[in-house]
Protein backbone atom coordinates (compact mmCIF):
# COMPACT_ATOMS: atom_id res chain seq x y z
CA UNK A 1 0.00 0.00 0.00
CA UNK A 2 2.85 2.33 0.82
CA UNK A 3 4.50 1.63 -2.52
CA UNK A 4 1.37 2.70 -4.40
CA UNK A 5 1.27 6.07 -2.63
CA UNK A 6 4.91 6.76 -3.44
CA UNK A 7 4.37 5.72 -7.04
CA UNK A 8 1.35 8.00 -7.25
CA UNK A 9 3.35 10.95 -5.88
CA UNK A 10 6.17 10.28 -8.33
CA UNK A 11 3.70 10.11 -11.23
CA UNK A 12 2.06 13.36 -10.15
CA UNK A 13 5.47 15.04 -9.88
CA UNK A 14 6.43 13.89 -13.39
CA UNK A 15 3.09 15.00 -14.81
CA UNK A 16 3.37 18.45 -13.22
CA UNK A 17 7.00 18.79 -14.31
CA UNK A 18 6.11 17.75 -17.85
CA UNK A 19 3.23 20.24 -18.01
CA UNK A 20 5.39 23.04 -16.63
CA UNK A 21 8.15 22.31 -19.16
CA UNK A 22 5.64 22.13 -22.01
CA UNK A 23 4.18 25.44 -20.85
CA UNK A 24 7.62 27.03 -20.82
CA UNK A 25 8.34 25.67 -24.32
CA UNK A 26 5.03 27.03 -25.61
CA UNK A 27 5.70 30.47 -24.09
CA UNK A 28 9.23 30.53 -25.48
CA UNK A 29 7.92 29.55 -28.90
CA UNK A 30 5.38 32.35 -28.71
CA UNK A 31 8.03 34.88 -27.76
CA UNK A 32 10.26 33.69 -30.62
CA UNK A 33 7.37 33.85 -33.11
CA UNK A 34 6.42 37.35 -31.97
CA UNK A 35 10.05 38.44 -32.34
CA UNK A 36 10.13 37.17 -35.93
CA UNK A 37 6.79 38.87 -36.64
CA UNK A 38 8.00 42.18 -35.19
CA UNK A 39 11.23 41.92 -37.18
CA UNK A 40 9.34 41.37 -40.44
CA UNK A 41 6.91 44.19 -39.61
CA UNK A 42 9.77 46.61 -38.88
CA UNK A 43 11.53 45.63 -42.11
CA UNK A 44 8.34 46.37 -44.07
CA UNK A 45 7.90 49.73 -42.32
CA UNK A 46 11.52 50.66 -43.14
CA UNK A 47 10.92 49.65 -46.75
CA UNK A 48 7.91 51.99 -46.93
CA UNK A 49 9.82 54.82 -45.25
CA UNK A 50 12.74 54.48 -47.66
CA UNK A 51 10.41 54.37 -50.66
CA UNK A 52 8.62 57.51 -49.44
CA UNK A 53 11.91 59.30 -48.81
CA UNK A 54 13.21 58.42 -52.28
CA UNK A 55 9.93 59.49 -53.90
CA UNK A 56 10.09 62.81 -52.04
CA UNK A 57 13.60 63.48 -53.29
CA UNK A 58 12.59 62.57 -56.84
CA UNK A 59 9.52 64.82 -56.69
CA UNK A 60 11.61 67.70 -55.34
CA UNK A 61 14.21 67.37 -58.07
CA UNK A 62 11.53 67.19 -60.77
CA UNK A 63 9.86 70.30 -59.29
CA UNK A 64 13.16 72.20 -59.30
CA UNK A 65 14.02 71.11 -62.83
CA UNK A 66 10.59 71.95 -64.23
CA UNK A 67 10.47 75.25 -62.36
CA UNK A 68 13.87 76.42 -63.57
CA UNK A 69 13.55 74.99 -67.08
CA UNK A 70 12.13 78.21 -68.54
CA UNK A 71 14.49 80.48 -66.60
CA UNK A 72 11.96 80.95 -63.84
CA UNK A 73 12.67 81.09 -60.13
CA UNK A 74 11.09 78.21 -58.24
CA UNK A 75 10.41 77.87 -54.53
CA UNK A 76 11.23 74.80 -52.47
CA UNK A 77 10.14 74.22 -48.89
CA UNK A 78 12.03 72.13 -46.38
CA UNK A 79 10.17 72.09 -43.10
CA UNK A 80 9.85 75.72 -42.03
CA UNK A 81 12.57 76.88 -44.43
CA UNK A 82 11.77 78.26 -47.88
CA UNK A 83 14.36 78.74 -50.61
CA UNK A 84 14.10 80.32 -54.02
CA UNK A 85 16.12 78.51 -56.67
CA UNK A 86 17.19 79.69 -60.12
CA UNK A 87 19.29 78.15 -62.86
CA UNK A 88 22.80 79.66 -62.91
CA UNK A 89 22.88 79.57 -66.73
CA UNK A 90 19.76 81.73 -66.80
CA UNK A 91 21.26 84.17 -64.29
CA UNK A 92 24.41 84.45 -66.44
CA UNK A 93 22.23 85.07 -69.48
CA UNK A 94 20.34 87.86 -67.69
CA UNK A 95 23.58 89.44 -66.47
CA UNK A 96 25.03 89.33 -69.98
CA UNK A 97 21.91 90.99 -71.39
CA UNK A 98 22.00 93.69 -68.71
CA UNK A 99 25.67 94.43 -69.36
CA UNK A 100 24.99 94.77 -73.08
CA UNK A 101 22.16 97.28 -72.45
CA UNK A 102 24.14 99.54 -70.12
CA UNK A 103 25.95 102.48 -71.71
CA UNK A 104 29.71 102.35 -71.66
CA UNK A 105 31.22 104.17 -68.72
CA UNK A 106 34.25 106.38 -69.22
Summarize pLDDT for 20-55 with one digit per residue, the tens. Answer: 999 999 999 999 999 999 999 999 999 999 999 999
Looking at the structure of the chain, the number of domains it has is 1
Range of the domain at 51: 2-101
In the prediction, which pLDDT does 34 show? 97
Cβ(56)–Cβ(65) below 8 Å: no
Distance (Å, whole) CA 68 – CA 61: 11
Per-residue pLDDT at 3 exceeds 60 = no
Instruction: Flag whether 106 is in a domain.
Output: no
Distance (Å, whole) CA 63 – CA 20: 64
Cβ(74)–Cβ(84) below 8 Å: yes
Instruction: Flag whether 34 is in a domain.
Output: yes
Instruction: Flag whether 40 is in a domain.
Output: yes
Sign of CA dihedral 51, 52, 56, 57: negative
Instruction: Flag whether 37 is in a domain.
Output: yes
DSSP SS3 for 102: coil
Mean pLDDT, residues 55-83: 87
Amino acid sequence: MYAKKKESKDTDFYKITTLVLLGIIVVMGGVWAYGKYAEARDAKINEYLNAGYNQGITDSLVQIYQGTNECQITTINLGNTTRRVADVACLEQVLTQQQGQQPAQQ
